[in-house]
Amino acid sequence: DVKVTQSSRYLVKRTGEKVFLECVQDMDHENMFWYRQDPGLGLRLIYFSYDVKMKEKGDIPEGYSVSREKKERFSLILESASTNQTSMYLCASSLVRVIAYGYNEQFFGPGTRLTVL
Amino acid sequence: AQKITQTQPGMFVQEKEAVTLDCTYDTSDPSYGLFWYKQPSSGEMIFLIYQGSYDQQNATEGRYSLNFQKARKSANLVISASQLGDSAMYFCAMREGARDDKIIFGKGTRLHILP
């Protein structure tokens, strides 16, 4: 079974702190994603990565950066946390970037609920 | 314009009844795929079912089926014989083209199953 783990389930940080959210997958997936989930807004893509050291901006990248130094690990960084970044953060991975037929679903981690005070 | 629309923010259904969760989508790409995910209160998103735009038959997975009406651009999830464990948030999502690295999610429907 694919397993996606996130470093923390709950995190409380202060405004202005640098925050690292870590995500690890164990199935050699090419793609990794960071989403933010807010009530009434669904999931919004922050960044994704399709290979080591490769990244692309999603729909809401402002205030965030990412790092993918190893294939299995994808980190989300909040350089200077702000209260409007209080949210649930979900990491996901999927097998390949381009699929000729069929599908490959995204496998999600349990989420990190971040509160910025 | 929203690419994925889920018009039901919340639903209450009696246990053992069938449930239909609505999803409409908007794309001009002839090749696309539609997903449904379930998110229980534990937070982890669980993949339920997939429908490709060229698939001739509606997808089914156990108690889940996808009512795919291409002309109407709708991809409703049907859960037969609902159970208390079906209480969760449900998200419809779409992949456009062959790239699986960017999937667009709807805002979700919260389903409550009543005993």
pLDDT in tens, B15-65: 999 999 999 999 998 989 999 999 999 888 999 999 999 998 999 999 999
Instruction: Judge: A42–B91 Cβ closer than 8 Å, yes or no.
Output: yes
Mean pLDDT of chain A: 92
Is 90 exceeded by the pLDDT of residue A37? yes
Amino acid at A108: F
Burial class (CB in 10 A: 0-12, 13-18, 19+), A15: exposed
Q: To probe the interface with B, which of A30, A32, A60, A105 has the most B CB atoms within 10 Å?
A: A105
> Does the pLDDT value for residue B92 go beyond 70?
yes
Q: What is the pLDDT of residue A91?
A: 96
- Predicted pLDDT of residue B15: 96
Give the pair of three-digit tokens for residue A109: 């981690």
What does each C-alpha distance from B73 to B4, B10, B108 come to in angstroms?
A: 10, 21, 17
**3-class DSSP state for residue B98?**
coil
pLDDT for A111 equals 94
pLDDT (0 to 100) of residue A109: 94
Q: Is the pLDDT of residue A46 over 70?
A: yes
Rg (CA), chain B: 14
Q: Which of residues 72-91 of A touch B (CB under 8 A)?
A: 88, 90
- Give the residue-averaged pLDDT of B89-113: 89
- What average pLDDT does this structure show over B78-85? 96
Which tokens sit at A84? 């409007």
d(Cα B104, Cα B73) in Å, to the nearest integer?
15
